[in-house]
Amino acid sequence: MAFYYNEPSRTFSEYLLIPNLTRKECVPENVDLRTPIVRFRKGEKPLFMINLPVASAIMQAVSDHNMAIALARCGGISFIYCSQPIESQAEMVRKVKKYKAGFVVSDSSLTPEHTLRDVIALTRKTGHTTIAITEDGTPTGKLEGILTSRDYRPDKTPLETKVKELMTPFSQLIYGMEGITLSEANDMIWRHKLNCLPIIDKNRNLKYLVFRKDYKEHKENPNELVDSEKRLRVGAGINTRDYTERVPALVEAGADILCIDSSDGYSEWQKDTLEWIKNKYNGEVKVGAGNVVDREGFLYLAEAGADFVKVGIGGGSICITREQKGIGRGQATALIEVAQARDEYFEKTGIYVPICSDGGIVFDYHMVLALAMGADFLMLGRYFARFDESPTKKLLIGGNYYKEYWGEGSNRARNWQRYDLGGEDRLSFEEGVDSYVPYAGKLKDNLDITIYKIKSTMCNCGALSIPELQKTARITLVSSTSIVEGGVHDVIPKDSGVNNPL
C-alpha cells in the first residue's frame, strides 16, 4: 500500500514569524549573515563560507560570468549554468577568476594605425571612451599610448586622422607595474590627478586599467567574496551525463565549488557522480547535490558525499514539474523536514551538511522564513533574472520594461540533462516555461534593500546570526483570511486611478 502523508505540504506564504525581544544590540549593522556552504566536522571551522546567504540559480537566463562577478562583489555566489558547451562554461569561470576588483582588463583596444573613424565606432559599440592603444591592438599587447574623449573633437577632427597623432604616447604616461596593490594604484591616481592608470608587466605589455571611478565602487563592496589569492569566488553547475569531461575543465578553469543540477536528486546517477568526483580529487573538489524534498533524499546524498544538499522540487516560478508529473512538495514543508534530517545527521555523525533552499521565494520575507526554517543559504532564479547583470534581453512591452526569463526544462533551454532518467538524449516534454519578469535595474541596488530587510526582520526576531535565528525563531501558521489581512485592505490606494476616493 502506498504511504500517505497526513499533513498537507505548505508554502512560505502560509507562515509568519512571531517577534522575539529586540535587544538593544539588535540593530541591522550588527547582524552577521555569513554562512557555510560545504560540509564540516563538529568543532572545526567551515572551509568555505559566503558572506551573504544567497546564490544565483543554475540557469541560462540567470547565471553567466557577469552575474557571477556582480554577486560575488556583494558577498553571494553564482553557479554558472551547465546547459552549454563545456569550454564556454569553463571560459565563463575563467573570466570571473581573472576579474580583479578595480583591475579591469581592457575591452576597448586599438593600434596606433587605426583612425578616428575606428575610435568612434568602437566607442559606440562598447560605450567606453578610454581606449588602450597597443602595438597589435589586443588587450594585452605592448602598450603604446592611451586615447580618451578629451584627445579629439569628433565634429572638428578629420575622421581619417591616425590614432598615433591623437593619443597620449607611452613616454608621457604615468603607469604602474604588475604586482601593484589596488590601494597603491589608487594612491597614484589621486596623487597624479589621473582618471585612468595603466598597469604593465616588465615587457611593457598591458595587464590592467585602474579607473578613478572604480575607487568608490570598491569601497561600497566590503563583503566581496574572494579566495586566498583575492580572486572572486564562483560556482558552476554540472550534470550526471558528461561529468567526467566537464568537471576537469571547470576545475582547471578555477571553479571554487560545483553543484549537480537536477530536478530530482534522489538518484543513483547523482551518487555515481559524487563518488567519481570525490575519488578523482581526493575530496578536495567541493560539490553540492540535489534537489530533494524529504529526509530520505537528504540522507542518501549526504552519505554519498555531497558537500551541500539542495532542497525543492516544483516550487520555482517557471517550473511546471508538479503540473506535468505530479511530483514535488510545498517548499516550506520540504525544507522543515530536510533541516530536521540535517540536524539529526549532525548529531549522529558530527558532520554538518549545509542545505540550500531552491524555489518558492516570492517575497523578501520568505527569505527570512527559509533561513529560520533551517536553510543555510538560498538559491534564487526569478529574483536575479530581473537585473541588468542577468544575461537576458531587456524589452519594452506596453510601456514597461521586462527581462526574459525561462526555465531549464522549457523548449527554449532544452536542458534535457537536468531531467535525465537514463533514456534518450532529448527533452521529451516541457517542465518549465518561457516568460518575462519586470525589469528592476542593478543587482546591488536591489540586493542592498533585500539584505537590509532580512537583517531588520532578524532584529525583530532577536537574532544577530543565522544560527541564532534558527535556534530562537518562533513561526506560526496563518489562515487564508489572515493572509488577506496582512496586505492592503479596506482602503483605496492612491495609485489605483480613482480620483475621488470615498
- Residues with active-site annotation: 319, 418
Q: What is the C-alpha to C-alpha distance for residues 118 and 110, in angstroms, rounded to an integer?
A: 8
Q: For residue 197, which amino acid is it?
A: L
Calculate the dihedral angle through the C-alpha atoms of 443, 446, 452, 456, rounding to the nearest 10 degrees: -140
Q: CA–CA distance from 464 to each of 14, 48, 180, 451 (Å)?
A: 25, 20, 38, 13
CA 403/CA 62 separation, integer angstroms: 10
Q: What is the DSSP letter of 436?
A: E
User: Maximum Cα–Cα distance for the chain, whole Å?
Assistant: 86
| Distance of alpha carbon 373 from alpha carbon 197, whole angstroms | 49
User: In angstroms, rounded to a whole number, what is the distance separating the alpha carbons of residues 474 and 402?
Assistant: 37
User: Taking the CA of residue 382 as centre, how many other CA atoms within 13 Å lie in the half-sphere pointing to its CB?
Assistant: 19
List the one residue out of 241, 235, 237 whose CA is nearest residue 267: 241
CB distance 301 to 240 below 8 Å = no
d(CA 101, CA 185): 12
In whole angstroms, what is the distance from residue 100 CA to residue 445 CA?
A: 21
C-alpha cell at 199: 598597469
Which stretches of 336-479 are assigned E, i.e. beta strand? Answer: 351-352, 355-358, 377-380, 394-397, 400-406, 434-438, 474-477
Place of cell 543554475: 58
Helix pair 65-74, 86-98: axis angle to 10 deg:
30
Specify the long-range contacts of residues 304-307, CB closer than 8 Å, at least 24 apart: 304/270, 304/271, 304/274, 304/275, 305/274, 305/275, 305/278, 306/39, 306/274, 306/353, 307/37, 307/38, 307/39, 307/257, 307/353, 307/354
- How many angstroms separate the CA atoms of 234 and 69, rounded? 8
Q: Is the dihedral of CA 348, 350, 351, 352 positive or negative?
A: positive
C-alpha cell at 490: 479596506
| Cell output for 47 | 572551509
